[in-house]
Structure 1
Amino acid sequence: MKIINILSLSLICLMACSGKREGNNVTAPITLKWRVSDHSQQHANESLSTLTLLNTTEEALPKNGWKLYFNIGNIKIAEGDSSHLHTRHVNGDFFLLEPDSSFAGLNVGDSLKVNVTSRRFKNLTDFPNGFYIVLESDSSKGISIPFSIDTPAYVRQHEEMLNAKIYDQNTRISAVDSNQIPPLFPTPKYYKRNEGVFKLNAQTTISADTAFLAEAKYLAKTLGEFTGSEIDVLQQQNTATIQIQQKKLASNEAYELEITSQHIVIRASGSAGAFYAIQSIKTLTAPDLWKNKQKEISLPSLVVQDEPRFAHRAFMLDVARNFQPKDQVKKVLDLMALYKLNVFHFHLVEDEGWRLEIPGLPELTEVGAHRGHTRDEKDRLLPSYGSGPTTDNLSGNGFYSRKDFIEILRYAKDRHIEVITEIETPGHARAAIKAMDERYARLKAEGKEKEASMYLLRDLADKSSYESVQGFHDNVINVALPSVYTFLTKVSDELIAMYAEAGAPLRTIHFGGDEVPNGVWENSPAVQKLMASNVAIKSPEDLWYYYFNKLHEMLASRELFLSGWEEVGLRKVTAADGTKKMEVEKRFVHNNFYLDVWNNLSGNEDLAYKLANAGYKVVLTNVTNMYVDLAYNPSFYEMGQYWGGYVDIEKPFSFIPYDYYKNQTEDEKGNPLKSGHFSGKEKLTAFGKTNIVGVQSPLWAEKITSKEKQEYLLLPKILGLVERAWAPDPSWARSGNQEEYQKAWSAFLHTVAKRELARLDFYNGGYLYRVSTPGVKKIGDKIHANIQLPGFTIHYTTDGSEPTIKSPVYKDPLPFEKGMKFSAFNNQGRSGRSVQL
């Protein structure tokens, strides 16, 4: 069987077939090649590149009447370029390249080089994508353009240095005896191994107290899948070999598990605890149990007393920037349930997409859930993140119907997962703004002026000028408009109705509050009118409290509380020197706001602690340790962003929630922190500690255009969060003892690699987790290699070909040969990306 690793496929597609995904049959008039021509320190913050246009058709590219569109972070024509083409920023990450009046066209077989500058390229994430051309003769559609990338010359030396660094890091991992590894994952609060095993087979029966009948049926179904036999569920029968009993414990999520050679007894206060005990039983089974049914399963005898460290153990999934279908969302929920994560933060709304049907507001999905080439954005949004010219691109287009969403809510509820829906406002709201613009235009044309304005989200006379971090200049809701609150109340009430129909718990709605740029609302007549009528609003900056206070009051009237990003709890003030800075907003501290605090970058390292100390409920979402969408490491070939640093499985594992200054040893650029770096930073107080409600990892989707890419970035690093969210505070975190930490780190990796990843090869159809790249280092005249994941195998070649499962196995240091390649393989023969010397 030929084995191709998923990441390689994604990189091939990026470099060789970007833009071909749209399926139109029109021949592309040109092909494109991108080459970085200068990446020297002279250009510390930018790269000089050459974009080559090659005419491979039978017709000349005309001297005018065409535009080439694409997505990139930023770009401009380099000084001295003579191509007679120029770039223009359209909006967001959307740019175009077009000829000026001196452009002479491009004849058949000819090529043209365009010199451009852009932000410094560090990995493949930085390169442009989604190229398509629009001809004046038919400006309603775009033609996708083939695009390739020449690997920059500077990459090889950088990769070899990184491979050597990975090798050195891997040498810290020591062999661990199986008895030193906790029998359950995540690590329970207390366990004791005993002699003997319990044999689970067709004769096994289950009994449950009335409160736990649903959990008993779930367990019977699960065990039946293992054995292929139907397991009987008896009500309150002490003769059953598995008993689920109600007992008053410390919390609803706590449980006790007793396994002997004769029986299994689960004790819990609530259904969540009983459910988690069942998940523990699943992780006690052999990893390959989901591959083949077994008539008899042996479980080790032990006693477990367990409960989570944090009540809020969250994973955030962004499906707004790039969409994921319902079945993939459910697959993520299954993964969360197995590892006892209990909060699903569902990021459904962004500038680039609105992904949920709202009855009565069809434009939200008719316009806001689709991207493609458009002249007016009346039926779709402009392309983002390489989604291309047509709306058949699966990652850029799609939404959940009301029925779909209710199904997801029920699915999560059955797995004891609370769904927190995020409706991002007032920034990051372009999809909603454009959708309501179209609703306004439609109804106004029908003569329904009052109805048209009912849900309008922008002041039509606003002349304010701003640009968001993502490059948008029209993505912020105008919070002075009464129609904004009519809209958000409508959306909230429809959400409440969906939760009610699903029978799912609803405590809060997340209203974002992230990254509103300077300049918004400053030249809005609606804002000026509100300021004239409300003496509490002295400047546009005062609208922040006004807005979130109104949302708080709306939610409170429905017995809900407000969740948001950290900016909800901050306010902008003007210092004596005229500069503006952010301070904690004290007026909200008693309103039970839950804040997801991500910003612990340079200058804001103590922000989460400041907010918790002030009285806000804080979910630690530190970008440097928890953002699983960030690249695993600085390799040019790793997908993922890096603006907040690099996050691998160790970053969340090493996180120390109540004193994360201890675990942060480098800044977001990878530079070691100097001694005393955290001097003067606010420390978490005893009161503040009571306000740290949990931890969270987000998976932002700018670059996630497939389920394979999603699972690659998610796994295995999310398992580091799992351990920190559930397991007791480890002794190494309190002592700071590095030797103790290294032992725990090694034990954790053995657990992950030998048990959990082996389980995830088959569980729920299998997950395409990242197989780590080997560390490779030349020491003397020999090549040494190692791997982060114990039990995985390294294969190598010496002729430059890609290693396969049939290639030689690396066992001992090898004589150096130019062109050697090394790849790691899991037990199923699936490889990670190869590294080359």
Structure 2
Amino acid sequence: MNRLAILIVALLVNVKAFTKAAEPTINPRDLTITWEVVDNNYQNKQQALTAITITNHSKATFPSNGWKLYFNSSRNFIADATSGNARVEQLNGDLYSFTPNTKFTEIKPGESGRIEFICESIVVNFTDAIENPYLVWDAEPAKGYALGDFVVKSFNPTYPGLITPDVLFNQNKTIEDIPYNKLVKVFPTPVSYQETGGNFTLTPAVDVTYEPEYNGEANSLFADLTKLFGKPVTGKGTASKGILIAKDASLGAEAYKLSVTPNKVTITASTPVGIFYGIQSFKTLIPPSAWTKPASSIQVPCVEVTDQPRFGHRAVMLDVARNFQNKAEVMKLIDGMALYKLNTLHLHLTDDEGWRIEIPSLPELNAIGSKRGHTLDSKTHLPPSHGSGPDFSNTAGTGFYTKADYIEILKYATDRHINVIPEIEAPGHARAAIKAMDARYERMLAAGDKAGAEKYLLRDLNDKSQYRSVQYWNDNVIDVSIPSTYAFMETVTNDLVALYKQAGAPLETIHFGGDEVPAGVWEKSPSWLTLKASHPELKEARDVWYYFYGRLNDMLKKRGLALSGWEEVGLLKTSVDGQSTYVPNPAFANEGMRMDVWNNVLGDGQEDLAYKLANGGYKVVLTCVTNLYFDMANYKSFDEPGYYWGAYLGIDKFFSFIPFDYFKNADVDKSGQPINRAIFTGKQRLTDYGKSNILGLQGALWAETVKSGERMEYMIFPKLLALAERAWAKDPEWANEKNPVKSKELYQDDWNHFMNVLGKRELPRLNYYSGGFDFRLPKPGVINQGGQYVANIQYPGLTIRYTTNGKEPDAKSKIYTGPVDASGVVKFRAFDNKGRGGNVAEAGFESTKPAL
């Protein structure tokens, strides 16, 4: 080797050594981050000064630059951090980054660094914190690294309307304890119910007689009895006391009769679904203790029940796009819905943050749209959202239902007489689909198939329109003026129809979303200008909206399907006195479209929107945010998860909902403050014709804050039972009583009974039914009376335990039976019959530990 070559080799070795030495040696897992609120009324404004503290647990120094921290947040921030050592930047959607500047100093082993920044709104609960920060080195910008622990530090809020233990105590003290034997033992409340005395003795040897058309329903009963007794129950028993399942053609489609005498149980109906509901009532009649462990026999009280539902559409909307729920969790939800006679599962399968159903004709929808992880361009997967982190290991962020999975869900639901409505969001909330079809375009273009590449594109590649959605996306709206959009919609529809056909499941409608399309879309799309030239009726870019849904409606009608959508689908944008407003679109009013109406936020001006659409001829499903959103926080407290932009929704909001006059029981605004009833002046009331267009009720769980099956169950249960009561039971007297004093008295009686049924019968059952549900347990109310702490609870039947040593109460802590001395730290906590505990109420009314 000559001298020059030796010199070059030496230089290369030195360069490599220098480069290696310059690379960070710290393990990101050795960094932990704590988020906290510093000042929740910063500069005397409705904004919060917050901070993250980065602690270095490694043996290496964390550098002062050469990195970024990425994180998700539902809140917006002022760009310059107040500590002056970093910048907060919004990237797209809810993804942000911290970039250090020259004032940020390195963090030595065992030490910490801090970044303070301003949130544009105050912090109310722990879900307002940033989510799952991760590290990206400047030298490796396409790779994200998970960090160590991320801690949300609790704080003591002081904002107006804070719900403290003393407030809860005063709310709870109106609830009376009703003896167990005085409770109605079928749920939801039947139209007619009478206890006749005595019991039917149910054993594994029970003989069941049924007509062949009810074979499926009988088998479902056998399966439940097998679980109850811990041994196979076939219905071909020898016991003289039997069960008769028979036809009664005089009953309505979903009606049933249930008769229990000491010698026989008789369930009659005109249809299999009616029989199924009779069986569900029989199951709720069984004492809840029977579900805790196998028994040799069960005593079932004798009753006479005649029953039918108030509304034909009794639904739950589950968002699996923002955060995914696996097949087993969906089927468990179906079990809970079926027990309480809900009959529709609306699956929100697609959104900006995920595409969750396999469409065999378009594999990129799942290859790209079902995965979330760090990315600079969304070409191979979507970016992190809602704290899903830098890689695919987060099962809430990444996942989808295969064709086989979805068929299994459909069959499972169909066996329980639940229809599954698929929702494919369009044209907004569609980033996952757009990026997936971009990837398909690139793949086929590289293969030389330009025409094939363009077949399913969802955007005009030359569109220069600028917009920002409510969730901060700037590239999430399908261009509805290009032909390939309709080819995409037809292909997705055809594959969905084929899935339902293969599953043998009913498909009456496909939901095509339609909400929250921001201003500015399509305005600079060449395709829009081309379409406008050939369609003179389209004057403005917003007019293409009606063109889009008209074409989708025609496509579905050819397949014998109805079009469902959120309320915007049925609205026409117009002006009144120069002010922009919406009215029901007469062009679609008689097309059989179904509108899920969520927007009745109190004080925002659209309180009567559902009634306007129903009065205007649209079939309406009430999905009102004021009363029927599972994802809204129960109340204003740091330890309660959920959003609150639309309302605070405890179980009382579901129970007190009056479908035909939801103005009547509106008592607080979206901030939880007493309502100014002047907001209802001039609002449309529901006409008798409008009432005929109300299909039913739907509880909705949007999943931005729902990262697990346990959290899903916490948010849905037991509110689902109040939804079921309002959707199934007849119109209560208090809803129609014109005397406000009398109405309040009737309501309180009804509420007391419901709380007792919940705490003493249904929650103990749900602890074991279908493997057990992780329903929310309320925090005890606590008040200081004469130097002693007195506690109570919302659901009679739960057990309150307490500690005086500063530790959190557990299932072995002392049971509260009466006033406790107020000296020292006293903590109270409610427990159910399975030993699960709820949030802790600390005497002195300090902030409690959040259920993270």
TM-score by length of 2: 0.92
The match for 1:18 is none
Q: How far off its partner does 1:152 sit? A: 5.6
Does structure 2 conserve the Cα–Cα contact (< 8 Å) formed by 1:383 and 1:389? Answer: yes
Partner of residue 688 from structure 1, selected from 684, 687, 690: 690
- Amino acid of the structure 2 residue aligned with 1:723: E
> 2-side partners of 1:335 and 1:651: how far apart?
20
RMSD: 2.2
- Answering whether residue 490 of structure 2 is matched by residue 484 of structure 1, we say no
Q: How far off its partner does 1:250 sit? A: 4.1
Partner of residue 828 from structure 1, selected from 819, 829, 834: 834
> 2-side partners of 1:691 and 1:345: how far apart?
19
Matched ranges for 1:54-203 at <5 A: 54-76=55-77, 81=82, 83-100=84-101, 105-108=106-109, 111-118=112-119, 119-146=121-148, 148-149=150-151, 151=153, 153-155=155-157, 162-203=164-205
SS in 2 for 1:833: coil
The match for 1:771 is 777
Q: 1:640 to 1:82 in 2, by over 3 A?
A: closer
- Answering whether residue 597 of structure 2 is matched by residue 591 of structure 1, we say no
Q: Output one character per residue of 1:568-590: Cα deviation in whole Å (capped at 9) or x when no partner.
A: 1112224443x422222111110
The match for 2:847 is none
Q: How far off its partner does 1:29 sit? A: 6.5
- Amino acid of the structure 1 residue aligned with 2:316: F
The match for 1:20 is none
Q: 1:281 to 1:161 in 2, by over 3 A?
A: closer
Q: Which region of structure 1 is more displaced relative to structure 2, 612-621 or 26-35?
A: 26-35
The match for 1:751 is 757
- Amino acid of the structure 2 residue aligned with 1:589: A
The match for 1:800 is 806
The match for 1:52 is 53
Matched ranges for 1:446-485 at <5 A: 446-485=447-486
> 2-side partners of 1:273 and 1:614: how far apart?
32
- Answering whether residue 523 of structure 2 is matched by residue 522 of structure 1, we say yes
> 2-side partners of 1:221 and 1:107: how far apart?
62
- Amino acid of the structure 1 residue aligned with 2:260: I
Q: 1:806 to 1:476 in 2, by over 3 A?
A: same
Q: Which region of structure 1 is more displaced relative to structure 2, 808-817 or 644-653?
A: 808-817
SS in 2 for 1:483: helix
> 1-side partners of 2:76 and 2:676: how far apart?
35
The match for 1:252 is 253
The match for 1:365 is 366
- Answering whether residue 429 of structure 2 is matched by residue 423 of structure 1, we say no
Q: Which region of structure 1 is more displaced relative to structure 2, 482-491 or 179-188?
A: 179-188
The match for 1:409 is 410
Q: How far off its partner does 1:635 sit? A: 1.2
The match for 1:570 is 571
SS in 2 for 1:486: helix
The match for 1:14 is none
> 1-side partners of 2:44 and 2:430: how far apart?
35
Q: Which region of structure 1 is more displaced relative to structure 2, 352-361 or 240-249?
A: 240-249
> 2-side partners of 1:79 and 1:631: how far apart?
30
Q: 1:161 to 1:635 in 2, by over 3 A?
A: closer
Q: Which region of structure 1 is more displaced relative to structure 2, 674-683 or 161-170?
A: 674-683
The match for 1:559 is 560
SS in 2 for 1:321: coil
SS in 2 for 1:155: coil
> 2-side partners of 1:348 and 1:431: how far apart?
11
The match for 1:649 is 651
SS in 2 for 1:404: helix
Does structure 2 conserve the Cα–Cα contact (< 8 Å) formed by 1:257 and 1:264? Answer: yes
> 1-side partners of 2:76 and 2:745: how far apart?
48
Q: Output one character per residue of 1:427-467: Cα deviation in whole Å (capped at 9) or x when no partner.
A: 10000001000000111111110000111001111111111
Q: 1:40 to 1:152 in 2, by over 3 A?
A: farther
Q: How far off its partner does 1:188 sit? A: 0.5
> 2-side partners of 1:670 and 1:158: how far apart?
9
The match for 1:718 is 720
- Amino acid of the structure 1 residue aligned with 2:215: L
Q: 1:476 to 1:199 in 2, by over 3 A?
A: same
Does structure 1 conserve the Cα–Cα contact (< 8 Å) formed by 2:241 and 2:263? Answer: no
- Amino acid of the structure 2 residue aligned with 1:730: P
> 1-side partners of 2:525 and 2:46: how far apart?
35
Does structure 2 conserve the Cα–Cα contact (< 8 Å) formed by 1:612 and 1:618? Answer: yes
Q: 1:576 to 1:160 in 2, by over 3 A?
A: closer
Does structure 1 conserve the Cα–Cα contact (< 8 Å) formed by 2:162 and 2:636? Answer: no
Does structure 1 conserve the Cα–Cα contact (< 8 Å) formed by 2:208 and 2:243? Answer: yes
Q: 1:487 to 1:59 in 2, by over 3 A?
A: same
Q: 1:503 to 1:198 in 2, by over 3 A?
A: same
- Amino acid of the structure 2 residue aligned with 1:196: G
Q: Output one character per residue of 1:143-189: Cα deviation in whole Å (capped at 9) or x when no partner.
A: 22235556465338989862111110001101223454222000001
SS in 2 for 1:336: helix
The match for 1:16 is none
SS in 2 for 1:542: helix
SS in 2 for 1:37: strand
Does structure 2 conserve the Cα–Cα contact (< 8 Å) formed by 1:321 and 1:352? Answer: yes
Q: Which region of structure 1 is more displaced relative to structure 2, 732-741 or 720-729?
A: 732-741
Q: 1:144 to 1:231 in 2, by over 3 A?
A: closer
> 2-side partners of 1:545 and 1:76: how far apart?
36
> 2-side partners of 1:117 and 1:187: how far apart?
50
Q: 1:157 to 1:659 in 2, by over 3 A?
A: closer
Matched ranges for 1:208-247 at <5 A: 208-228=210-230, 230-233=232-235, 241-247=242-248
- Segments of 5+ residues of structure 2 without an aligned counterpart are 1-24, 844-852
Does structure 2 conserve the Cα–Cα contact (< 8 Å) formed by 1:206 and 1:231? Answer: no
- Amino acid of the structure 1 residue aligned with 2:651: I
> 1-side partners of 2:429 and 2:159: how far apart?
39
> 2-side partners of 1:281 and 1:252: how far apart?
19
> 1-side partners of 2:55 and 2:27: how far apart?
17
SS in 2 for 1:657: coil
SS in 2 for 1:219: helix
Q: Which region of structure 1 is more displaced relative to structure 2, 26-35 or 667-676?
A: 26-35
- Answering whether residue 296 of structure 2 is matched by residue 295 of structure 1, we say yes
The match for 2:9 is none
> 2-side partners of 1:85 and 1:429: how far apart?
33
The match for 2:442 is 441
- Segments of 5+ residues of structure 1 without an aligned counterpart are 1-23
Q: Output one character per residue of 1:599-631: Cα deviation in whole Å (capped at 9) or x when no partner.
A: 111211111100000010111111111001111
- Answering whether residue 767 of structure 2 is matched by residue 761 of structure 1, we say yes
Q: Output one character per residue of 1:700-736: Cα deviation in whole Å (capped at 9) or x when no partner.
A: 1111111111111111111110100111111111115
> 1-side partners of 2:747 and 2:230: how far apart?
42
Matched ranges for 1:284-363 at <5 A: 284-363=285-364
The match for 1:814 is 820
SS in 2 for 1:630: coil
Q: Output one character per residue of 1:12-44: Cα deviation in whole Å (capped at 9) or x when no partner.
A: xxxxxxxxxxxx994447433323221127544
Q: 1:302 to 1:127 in 2, by over 3 A?
A: same
TM-score by length of 1: 0.93
Does structure 1 conserve the Cα–Cα contact (< 8 Å) formed by 2:667 and 2:675? Answer: yes
Q: Output one character per residue of 1:69-122: Cα deviation in whole Å (capped at 9) or x when no partner.
A: 001124445768353421211101000111346656555555433221113211
- Amino acid of the structure 2 residue aligned with 1:580: S
SS in 2 for 1:191: strand
- Amino acid of the structure 2 residue aligned with 1:526: S
> 2-side partners of 1:177 and 1:492: how far apart?
53
Q: 1:58 to 1:226 in 2, by over 3 A?
A: closer
Q: 1:555 to 1:824 in 2, by over 3 A?
A: same
Q: Which region of structure 1 is more displaced relative to structure 2, 158-167 or 626-635?
A: 158-167
Q: How far off its partner does 1:782 sit? A: 2.3
Q: 1:800 to 1:581 in 2, by over 3 A?
A: same
Q: Kindly, what percent of the aligned residue pairs are identical? A: 45
